[in-house]
Amino acid sequence: MVCVCLLVLGAAPAAGAGAAPGVVCTSTKKSLATALRKGITKALQGRRGTVAVALHDRSTKTRCALRSTYAFDAASVVKVTVLGALLWDAQRAGRALTARERKLTTSMITRSGNAATNTLWNQLGPAKIRRFMTAAKMTRTELNPYGYWGLTQLNARDQQRLMELFAGWNRVLNADSRAYGLELMGKVVESQRWGTSEGAPETVKVHLKNGWLPRSTYGWRVHSSGIFVAPGTTYTITVLSHGNASMKYGVATVERVARAVHPVLNAPE
């Protein structure tokens, strides 16, 4: 089974998403939640397309969500799911990744290699990937029934749950698996280090995976999901979008959200 990510060129613009209604933020610090809600809402004002946002800051127990269960074609952000499934499967077998698997995962994450993803997807098979998603509580993620991994149906909430498995202690991925995932997402090639990393201070360590996919319906899918290790805290941001007239437009939308978030979460006490 050969899986592809990029399908039909020729994007078509989708209906506008308006002024980002429904951004909801909660926090142990009320002022933080208010600032984030206002910032994300303002960042999306006037932007065309449909955008979903989810974020979590561990130290302040801050969460924000916008359309967090809305389903998008996953494009290449699904490669983190493939990585997680491989690591989880290896753990269960009581083995380390082989040299071949390390080469493939490095290509898949750091350069978004599609051929490497095809190989690992076929090696694991849908059943193992689904078992991992169940363990990860990715309850609304649906694999494409025809094997096209880029057309997995993914939402921001489930992507956040996945990224948080790499961000800190949990019962699904052990310390070695988490460290390896963070290492790869910290070495993404420069040309792909856009998106939710935009506006992160130099004191913050960035671990990132992006995805982009043009189709004849809903234009460009442009997604970005990151883990950010800052002094005193770790936080995660996911922004998914479609209905973008171009990749450049979608990247700009994602980065507007990122620039609204990083300064607030890294502001001095």
Taken in order 124, 127, 131, 134, is the CA torsion positive or negative?
A: positive
- For residues 268 and 127, the model is more confident at 127
pLDDT given at position 60: 97
CATH 3.40.710.10 fits 24-265, yes or no: yes
Q: Is 15's pLDDT higher than 80?
A: no
Q: What is the pLDDT of residue 11?
A: 32
29, HSE (Cβ side, Cα atoms, 13 Å): 14
- Residue 208 is encoded by which pair of tokens? 């990132």
- How does DSSP classify residue 15? P
User: How crowded is residue 104: how many other Cβ atoms within 10 Å of its Cβ?
Assistant: 23
Cα distance between residue 267 and residue 2, in whole Å: 46
Q: Which of 168, 229, 238, 170 is nearest to 201 (CA)?
A: 229
pLDDT at position 19 is 42
Q: Could you read off the pLDDT of 184-210 as tens digits, one per residue?
A: 999 999 999 999 999 999 999 999 999
- Check pLDDT > 70 for residue 4: no
Q: What is the model's pTM?
A: 0.92
- Whole-angstrom distance, CA of residue 221 vs CA of residue 183: 26
Q: How far is CA 10 from CA 13, 150, 160, 211, 254, in A?
A: 10, 17, 30, 17, 21
pLDDT for position 231: 94
One DSSP character per residue, 123-175 reads HHHHHHHHHHHHHTT-TT-B--TTS-GGG-EE-HHHHHHHHHHHHS--SSS-H
Spell out the domain ranges in the chain.
24-265
Q: Once rounded to an integer, what is the mean pLDDT over residues 62-83?
A: 98
Q: Is the pLDDT of residue 146 over 70?
A: yes
* Average pLDDT over every residue of 42-64: 97
Residue 255: predicted pLDDT: 98
Would you place residue 10 in the very low, low, confident or very high pLDDT band (cuts 50, 70, 90)? very low
- CB burial of residue 251 (10 Å; 0-12, 13-18, 19+): buried
First-last CA distance in the chain: 53
Assess whether pLDDT exceeds 70 at residue 6: no
Phi, psi of 153 (to 5 degrees): -90, 115
d(CA 262, CA 119): 36
How many C-beta atoms surround the C-beta of residue 9 within 10 A? 8
What is the pLDDT at residue 269?
A: 78
pLDDT at 63: 98
Of all residues in the chain, the percent with pLDDT exceeding 70 is 92
Average pLDDT value for the chain: 93
